[in-house]
Structure 1
Amino acid sequence: MDQQLRVFVTVAEMENFSRAAEKLHMTQPAVSQYIQTFERTMGTKLLERSNKYVRLNKAGEIVYHHAKEILGIYTKMNYLIDDLTNKTSGSISIGASYSYGEYVLPHVIKKMHEQYPLIIPTVTIGNTKEIAKLVRKHQLDVGIIEGEIEDNHLLIEPFAEDAMYVVASPKHRLSKRNGDMNLAELAEETWIVRENGSGTREITEKMFGSYGLVPKKTLEFGSTQLIKESVEAGLGISLLSWWAIRKECTIGTMKIIDVKQLPMKREFSVALRSPFKTKALNVFLELVKEDKVDHEL
């Protein structure tokens, strides 16, 4: 059954029997036979076929959703069994929110590759809600998320604290101010914020609400890197993680604005779907917790 699921999922994702056969290292007739047998087993058609494409129908969408979860669980089971007798190796699928994933995770991956070259990581970057959802669906082995999140289906463990600062271009008028200022003074500025679902957006909104700050103008961007480039260009100001801005602040292309109520603090957490961990996952989690010291302010 697991091979039928793999063939079905691959055909659904490739939307083409020939491309699926190539990816699976099978012949096209063999792929077609697997799909026909699987559809008979399920008692209904799962794919709409034409000369140009193969697409999921309503029943196919339901089966695809659960097939991804089943294959994820099956893969984890095999890794756990292999771990009983073999040395640390295998694949590990990692998800991370933008602030951690873009600015800290590469250092962790580098250390893991140097110490455990047989571990093969794949990385997905997204906002906190997206990463939590993928972990919940067994499509990621582990997620690194930011801010506060409640999910009864996930095991969430904080492992590091992050400091959030208001930053601007060195040429911005606020960068030339001496001494602390109140957040309320920044209401007339253009604020560049992340999209809804982002942990950075969550703490920005929390800051606005806590101190009664109502920005006159906001711009919403879906990438921390894009926000940083925009701040450096003088488009506006933003609340960003120290981990994300430390390099720019060191070389002087971005400046932290002295605000009495800051920095804001938040936690970074590990999110898991199951308490059972492969050796590869345990190695990664240990490195994550060790590496936090190198990135503290």
Structure 2
Amino acid sequence: MDQLLEVFVAVAEKKNFSRAAEELHMTQPAVSQHIQAFEREIGTRLLDRTNKYVKLNKAGEIVYDHAVEILGLYTKMQRLVDDLTNKTSGPLTIGASYTFGEYILPYVIADMLEQYPLVTPSISIGNTRDIAESVLKHQLDVGIVEGDFRHHQLMIEPFAKDIMHIVTAPTHKLAKLKKVTPADLAQETWIVREEGSGTRTAADKMLDSLDISPEKMMEFGSLQIIKESVEAGLGVSLLSKWAIRKELSMDTLKIIDVNGLPFTRTFSIVTSSPYRTKALDTFLQFVREVSEKS
């Protein structure tokens, strides 16, 4: 059954029998036979086929979501059993929200691999909501997310505080003021992340705490684009101290002094199971050390 699931997932993701066969190192007729056998097993057609494409039908979408989760659990089970008799090694799938993933995680991974070179990490960067969903579906071993995140089906461990500042370009008019008021901030263009992002949630909470309703907001899906936009004078933003260290040292961004700031949020470890491989336990030890450096 596990091979049938693997073939079905490959066809669903590649949307093509030939490309799925190439990925699986199988012939196209063999892939077709596996799909037919799987559809007989399930009791209904799962794929709509034409000469140009293959796509999931409604039943196929349901089966695909569960197939991905089942394969993730099966892989995790195998690794946990293998882990009992082996030293710290093997694959480790890590998901992280943008601030932690882009500005902290590379250093955590480098420190870990220096001592445990047999661990093979695979990293996905996304917003908090997407990372949590992937952990829940067992597509990731662990997620690192931002903010006051809660989910009744996931285990969540806050491990470090993240200090956030309002920043502008050094030439911005606010940068020339000794003290900036909420009224000043309300008139500015705010450059923020998209809904579902931990950084966006922090910005919304901060604005609420200052009782600010900005006249204009611009959404961008990347911290780097936000920083460069602020540097260019397009507006202001609330960003983690981890994300702006380089820009502050180069004087391309400036922190704005506002009563009630800086804003503080939490980094949290998210997992879906109490069973952990040695590789995951080792990684978490290095992650928790971030609190000592923050």
TM-score (norm 1): 0.96
Partner SS state of residue 243, structure 1: coil
The separation in 1 between residues aligned to 2:79 and 2:68, in whole angstroms, is: 17
Map 1:218-237 onto structure 2 (within 5 A): 218-237=217-236
Judge conservation of contact 1:182–1:261 (CA < 8 Å) in 2.
no
Q: Structure 1: 5+ residue runs without aligned partners?
A: none
Map 1:1-297 onto structure 2 (within 5 A): 1-178=1-178, 180-294=179-293, 296=294
CA offset digits 1:74-103 (Å, max 9, x no partner) = 011001001001121211111111111111
Judge conservation of contact 1:98–1:224 (CA < 8 Å) in 2.
yes
Question: Following TM superposition, by how much is the alpha carbon of 1:288 offset from its aligned partner in structure 2, in angstroms?
Answer: 0.9
Pairs aligned (count): 294
The separation in 1 between residues aligned to 2:213 and 2:46, in whole angstroms, is: 50
Question: Following TM superposition, by how much is the alpha carbon of 1:181 offset from its aligned partner in structure 2, in angstroms?
Answer: 2.9
Judge conservation of contact 1:161–1:266 (CA < 8 Å) in 2.
yes
Partner SS state of residue 37, structure 2: helix
The separation in 1 between residues aligned to 2:86 and 2:227, in whole angstroms, is: 44
Query: Which amino acid is the alignment partner of residue 232 of structure 2?
Result: A
CA offset digits 1:142-188 (Å, max 9, x no partner) = 1100011221000000010000100000111121223x333333111
The separation in 1 between residues aligned to 2:39 and 2:166, in whole angstroms, is: 56
The separation in 1 between residues aligned to 2:291 and 2:225, in whole angstroms, is: 24
Question: Measured at CA, do residues 291 and 208 of structure 1 come closer, stay the same or move farther in structure 2, by a change above 3 Å?
Answer: closer
CA offset digits 1:57-83 (Å, max 9, x no partner) = 111111100000000000110010010
Judge conservation of contact 1:184–1:211 (CA < 8 Å) in 2.
no
Partner SS state of residue 160, structure 1: strand
The separation in 1 between residues aligned to 2:210 and 2:175, in whole angstroms, is: 21
The separation in 2 between residues aligned to 1:123 and 1:44, in whole angstroms, is: 36
The separation in 1 between residues aligned to 2:289 and 2:231, in whole angstroms, is: 31
Partner SS state of residue 171, structure 2: coil
CA RMSD of superposed structures (Å): 1.2
Query: Which amino acid is the alignment partner of residue 86 of structure 2?
Result: N
The separation in 1 between residues aligned to 2:182 and 2:239, in whole angstroms, is: 15
Judge conservation of contact 2:174–2:180 (CA < 8 Å) in 1.
no
Query: Which amino acid is the alignment partner of residue 81 of structure 2?
Result: I
The separation in 2 between residues aligned to 1:2 and 1:279, in whole angstroms, is: 25
The more displaced of 215-224 and 66-75 is 215-224
Q: Structure 2: 5+ residue runs without aligned partners?
A: none
Partner SS state of residue 242, structure 2: helix
Judge conservation of contact 1:164–1:241 (CA < 8 Å) in 2.
yes
The more displaced of 216-225 and 144-153 is 216-225
Judge conservation of contact 1:190–1:216 (CA < 8 Å) in 2.
yes
Question: Following TM superposition, by how much is the alpha carbon of 1:263 offset from its aligned partner in structure 2, in angstroms?
Answer: 0.4
The more displaced of 266-275 and 194-203 is 194-203
Identical-residue share of aligned pairs (%)? 63
TM-score (norm 2): 0.97
The separation in 2 between residues aligned to 1:148 and 1:290, in whole angstroms, is: 20
The separation in 2 between residues aligned to 1:10 and 1:113, in whole angstroms, is: 31
The more displaced of 273-282 and 110-119 is 110-119
The separation in 2 between residues aligned to 1:113 and 1:26, in whole angstroms, is: 34
Judge conservation of contact 2:156–2:270 (CA < 8 Å) in 1.
yes
Question: Following TM superposition, by how much is the alpha carbon of 1:206 offset from its aligned partner in structure 2, in angstroms?
Answer: 1.1
Judge conservation of contact 1:183–1:261 (CA < 8 Å) in 2.
no
Question: Following TM superposition, by how much is the alpha carbon of 1:291 offset from its aligned partner in structure 2, in angstroms?
Answer: 3.6
Partner SS state of residue 244, structure 1: coil
The separation in 1 between residues aligned to 2:235 and 2:18, in whole angstroms, is: 50
